[in-house]
């Protein structure tokens, strides 16, 4: 009951009370509170079935009378539900008018009213059939047949209820459609991230990018983007970094978007062919490092499944000099990995964030290290050597570096304390660089560096202990119950 009341969210006072507590204010959809209620109902139904079966096996007059009352009570309830559904069906027009008065269009209101009436009728009919099958299962000699019928009824109801949420895709058609744009971007994805131009808002490009490419094609083809698909609870440092580099209505803040792309290895921008001039003027003033590389246009796939009403997967791209969209290259983006001969130490995270957001800061000449290492003695801009990525996997990266001087290796991937780094097979200190990125300090010479993601196993052990404890309690209850049954039989 508490879960049901909390599921009303802002429409009831109950959620307002717990919304003030930590974690609860991060929930976007209070319908999640119905999940505990669903589990509770399943448990209660299990107890009810067990109780009814136990009464039927006793073959006593009291048990038979109770079962008869139970069947009659549920039969009356099922009949009342069926009668209510018929009354609601006759008042479908009034229900539609009521829904429309709450801000919905007349078409949507009529559809919602018809759906509600039909669902109530179907539920009442299933209720009636279910009560009949249960009654026959308890009293008939052909109980297994009626029991199997009840199981089929439950399966039918679950299938019907879940069918609107079951979507079927031809994955080969959807993901292996030979989209030239996707094919080009998936080549060496760790060399540069992808994003979309802010000037492409409310366009076909933005719709395809946000719905089809970012959420499906990019993930399937391992194309890396600066844009997050879904993060209900973003990490605090990531959120602060994104907020600090968000441009406002003031044109003096537009360079912050370019700086963010610069710091995050965002090399490819999908936009319109005429966006280059604006980006060079506002996002990269005085440097003009944006260039148009590959104009393209949209077209239907030759094997499109829905030519009359095309869906996102039916649309592909074609590289064409006359195209009104283009892949824009940003040469100002930092490489994914770079050796810096000069670094600055700033252990105050907020001050480090402000430092890298200043116009005069040059991300290509120096790196900000948020770890108490010794300061650099080199001059800004001094090269630290060369580095290459030999293997790039989500949880393990191998790099080869030739440091010509003492240097800091900057890896433009998100920092986390669960990452571990080794240099030439020996553990090294993981550095936090440029507020959200990873790094490691290197002496002069040739080095093999490995970054490996290894979160602690604490919660794994907690889960295993819980499972073992649960199985132990279940075994104890089973054995103890059999002992009591044996003792009762002997006595």
384-424, pLDDT tens digit by residue?
Answer: 899 999 999 989 999 999 999 999 999 999 999 999 999 99
Q: Which stretch of 110-124, 185-199, 314-328 has the lowest confidence by average pLDDT?
A: 110-124
Q: Give the pLDDT score at 119.
A: 86
- Residue at which a domain ends, from 131, 165, 199: 165
- Is the same domain home to 488 and 392? no
Tens-place pLDDT, residues 98-109: 889 888 899 999
3-state secondary structure at position 13: helix
- Is the same domain home to 47 and 161? yes
- Is the same domain home to 113 and 182? no
Within 10 Å of residue 382's Cβ, how many Cβ atoms? 16
Q: Give the pLDDT score at 279.
A: 93
For residues 1 and 336, which has the higher predicted lDDT (pLDDT)? 336
- Is the same domain home to 287 and 228? yes
- Is the same domain home to 17 and 160? yes
Report angle CA 200, 231, 367 to the nearest 5 degrees: 80
- Is the same domain home to 426 and 468? no
Instruction: Please indicate, yes or no, if residue 415 is contained in any of the structural domains.
Output: yes
Whole-prediction pTM value? 0.74
Q: Which stretch of 18-32, 350-364, 378-392 has the lowest confidence by average pLDDT?
A: 18-32
Q: Give the pLDDT score at 485.
A: 65
310 phi, psi to nearest 5 deg: -65, 140
Instruction: Please indicate, yes or no, if residue 132 is contained in any of the structural domains.
Output: yes
Instruction: Please indicate, yes or no, if residue 171 is contained in any of the structural domains.
Output: no
Express as a percent the part of the chain with pLDDT over 70: 97
Tens-place pLDDT, residues 26-83: 777 788 888 899 889 888 887 877 777 777 777 677 777 877 888 788 888 888 888 8
Instruction: Please indicate, yes or no, if residue 172 is contained in any of the structural domains.
Output: no
Structural domain including 476 reads 459-491
- Residue at which a domain ends, from 313, 330, 347: 330
Helix 61-90 vs helix 34-58: crossing angle, to nearest 10: 140
Q: Which stretch of 62-71, 189-198, 327-336 has the lowest confidence by average pLDDT?
A: 62-71
CATH number at residue 375: 2.60.40
Instruction: Please indicate, yes or no, if residue 375 is contained in any of the structural domains.
Output: yes
Number of domains in the chain: 4
C-alpha dist (Å) from residue 87 to 73, 80, 118, 326: 21, 10, 12, 59
Nearest to 343 by CA among 285, 383, 295: 383
Q: Which pLDDT band holds residue 141 (cuts at 50, 70, 90)?
A: low
Instruction: Please indicate, yes or no, if residue 481 is contained in any of the structural domains.
Output: yes
- Is the same domain home to 236 and 313? yes
Tens-place pLDDT, residues 222-268: 999 999 887 777 888 999 999 999 888 777 888 999 999 999 999 99
- Is the same domain home to 372 and 406? yes
Segment of 6-20, 187-201, 396-410 carrying the highest mean pLDDT: 396-410
Q: Give the pLDDT score at 488.
A: 65
- Is the same domain home to 323 and 305? yes
Alpha-carbon distance of 309 to 327, in angstroms, equals 27
For residues 334 and 135, which has the higher predicted lDDT (pLDDT)? 334
Q: Which pLDDT band holds residue 490 (cuts at 50, 70, 90)?
A: low
- Is the same domain home to 262 and 325? yes
Q: Which stretch of 38-52, 178-192, 465-479 has the lowest confidence by average pLDDT?
A: 38-52
DSSP state of 312: G
Instruction: Please indicate, yes or no, if residue 170 is contained in any of the structural domains.
Output: no
Tens-place pLDDT, residues 304-318: 888 888 888 899 999
- Residue at which a domain ends, from 136, 165, 194: 165
Instruction: Please indicate, yes or no, if residue 232 is contained in any of the structural domains.
Output: yes
- Is the same domain home to 80 and 199? no
For residues 22 and 199, which has the higher predicted lDDT (pLDDT)? 199
- Is the same domain home to 206 and 308? yes
Q: Which pLDDT band holds residue 383 (cuts at 50, 70, 90)?
A: confident
């Amino acid at each position: 009951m508490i879960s049901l009341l909390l599921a009303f969210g802002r429409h009831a006072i109950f959620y307002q009370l717990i919304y003030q507590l930590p974690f609860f204010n991060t929930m976007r959809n209070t319908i999640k509170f119905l999940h505990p209620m669903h589990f509770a109902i399943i448990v209660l139904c299990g107890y009810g079935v067990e109780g009814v079966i136990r009464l039927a096996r006793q073959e006593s007059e009291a048990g038979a009378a109770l079962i008869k009352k139970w069947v009659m009570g549920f039969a009356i309830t099922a009949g009342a539900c069926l009668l209510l559904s018929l009354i609601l069906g006759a008042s479908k027009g009034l229900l539609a008018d009521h829904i429309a008065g709450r801000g919905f269009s007349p078409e949507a209101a009529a559809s919602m009213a018809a759906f509600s009436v039909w669902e109530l009728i179907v539920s009442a009919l299933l209720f009636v059939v279910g009560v009949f099958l249960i009654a026959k299962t308890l009293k008939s000699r052909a109980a297994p047949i009626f029991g199997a019928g009840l199981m089929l009824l439950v399966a039918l109801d679950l299938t019907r209820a879940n069918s609107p949420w079951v979507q079927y895709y031809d994955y080969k058609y959807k993901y292996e459609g030979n989209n030239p744009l996707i094919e080009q971007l998936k080549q060496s994805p760790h060399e540069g991230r992808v994003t979309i131009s802010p000037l492409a808002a409310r366009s076909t490009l933005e719709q395809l990018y946000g719905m089809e490419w970012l959420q499906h094609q990019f993930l399937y083809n391992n194309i890396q983007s600066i844009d997050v698909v879904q993060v209900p609870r973003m990490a605090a440092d990531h959120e602060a970094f994104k907020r600090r580099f968000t441009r406002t209505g003031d044109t003096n803040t537009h360079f912050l978007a370019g700086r963010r792309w610069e710091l995050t290895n965002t090399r490819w921008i999908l936009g319109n062919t005429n966006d280059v001039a604006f980006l060079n003027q506002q996002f990269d003033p005085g440097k003009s490092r944006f260039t148009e590389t590959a104009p393209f246009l949209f077209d239907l796939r030759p094997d499109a499944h829905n030519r009359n009403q095309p869906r996102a997967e039916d649309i592909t791209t074609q590289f064409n000099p006359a195209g009104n969209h283009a892949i824009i290259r940003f040469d100002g983006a930092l490489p994914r990995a770079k050796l810096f001969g000069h670094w600055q130490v700033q252990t105050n995270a907020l001050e480090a964030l402000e430092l890298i957001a200043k116009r005069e800061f040059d991300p290509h000449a120096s790196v900000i290290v948020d770890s108490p290492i010794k300061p650099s003695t080199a001059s800004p801009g001094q090269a630290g050597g060369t580095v290459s990525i030999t293997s790039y996997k989500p949880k393990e990266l191998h790099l080869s570096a030739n440091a010509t001087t003492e240097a800091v290796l900057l890896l433009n991937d998100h920092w986390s304390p669960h990452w571990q780094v080794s240099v030439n097979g020996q553990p090294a200190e993981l550095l936090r660089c440029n507020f959200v990125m990873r790094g490691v300090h290197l002496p002069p010479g040739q080095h093999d560096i490995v970054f490996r993601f290894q979160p602690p196993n604490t919660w794994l052990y907690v889960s295993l202990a819980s499972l073992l404890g649960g199985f132990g309690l279940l075994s104890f209850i089973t054995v103890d119950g059999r002992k009591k049954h044996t003792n009762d039989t002997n006595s």
